[in-house]
Amino acid sequence: MPPPITLLTDFGIDDAYAAVMKGVILTRDPRATLVDITHAIEPQNIRHGAFVLATAYRYFPKNTIHVAVVDPGVGGERRGIILKVAGSLFVAPDNGLLTYVIDQLNLNDDVVPDSGTEATMIRLKRGIEAVSITDPRFWRTPVSPTFHGRDVFAPVAAGLSLGLSPYEFGEKTDVLTVLPITRPQRMGPGETVGQVMHIDHFGNLVSDIRSSDLPPGPVEVYIAGCRIDGISHNYLGSGELLAILGSSGYLEISLRNGSAARYLEALVGDEVSVRAIA
């Protein structure tokens, strides 16, 4: 029984695009176990896809193949890549979709930029296995210039599922594309300022602040002009608005039995500040 293959795309679930990728995979490896991570990534929003992918991959079995397709540059010069790291294989366009995976697993030798909006190439640490998908032997032909998910990435994933080495699909590369990642700033010992990275289905505001970024001792959290007293251990604390270390390890702002995003009219990029109580 081969490891699962996961799919993350911005294809939506109204059309057959995601299903077509599954059909191509099952045609080549009928034993494949397919799991949708999501197909609701905002169209062409690579950063959104990169973030959701990074919240998911670590919970899958060893050697799971993660196929991610958010691909505004399809049909152009951007490469397709395979990245093999401890326990996971990733198949994706080389456009920054693996940014948070690379950052979390500390695969980069060069520093991932923390400002700007442009994607940049960074060098990987020695020993990291990455492959540029260049060998057309496994592709469907002719390759549609608008649907590499079907004609390139799905066939490559099926080939990996069948046990082929990543090196069968192209040449080793030691650089990959990343997007800049904002980091929370320590404003002296008593304050950390971060921002909202993601808003989830419940309207929870997921910030980029981790436990290790917090000032020591009791704190207050500020967002959108609201003050939250302390960090709660669950959704049952006093007060309606809560700050809590969420299940992905980031500080989240939640509204008890409601949507913090709607209540605060908050957006991705909004500032979140944590201050030690004087």
Query: Strands 5-9 and 64-69, how do they pair?
Result: parallel
Q: How far is the CB of 269 from a copy of itself (least distance, A)?
A: 18
Paired residues of 10 in beta bridges? none
Query: Where are the alpha helices (H) located in 226-265, listed in sequence order?
Result: 260-264
Q: How far is the CB of 261 from a copy of itself (least distance, A)?
A: 12
| Residue partners of 181: CB distance under 8 A and separation at least 6 | 99, 100, 103, 112, 113, 114
Residue from 16, 121, 162, 164 binding a copy of itself (CB under 8 A):
16
Q: Which stretch binds a copy of itself (CB under 8 A): 104-112, 178-186, 197-205, 263-271?
A: 197-205
Separation between Cα atoms, residue 82 and residue 111, nearest integer Å: 21
Nearer Cβ to a copy of itself (74/272)? 74
Nearer Cβ to a copy of itself (66/122)? 66
Q: How far is the CB of 112 from a copy of itself (least distance, A)?
A: 22
Residues in the chain: 278
For residue 104 the two structure tokens come to 């979390």
Q: Which stretch binds a copy of itself (CB under 8 A): 19-27, 108-116, 209-217, 218-226?
A: 19-27
Residue from 246, 261, 272, 273 binding a copy of itself (CB under 8 A):
246
Residue from 35, 121, 164, 277 binding a copy of itself (CB under 8 A):
35
**112 belongs to the binding site for a copy of itself (CB under 8 A):** no
For residue 53 the two structure tokens come to 């992918």
Separation between Cα atoms, residue 260 and residue 113, nearest integer Å: 30
**239 belongs to the binding site for a copy of itself (CB under 8 A):** no
Separation between Cα atoms, residue 211 and residue 200, nearest integer Å: 19
- Cα distance from N-terminal residue to C-terminal residue, the chain: 58
Structural Rg of the chain based on CA atoms: 20
Q: Name the residues that contact a copy of itself, by CB under 8 A.
A: 1, 3-4, 6, 8, 11-17, 19-20, 22-24, 26-27, 30-31, 33-40, 43-44, 52-53, 55-56, 59-62, 64, 72-76, 144-147, 150, 200-202, 233-236, 244, 246-247, 257, 259
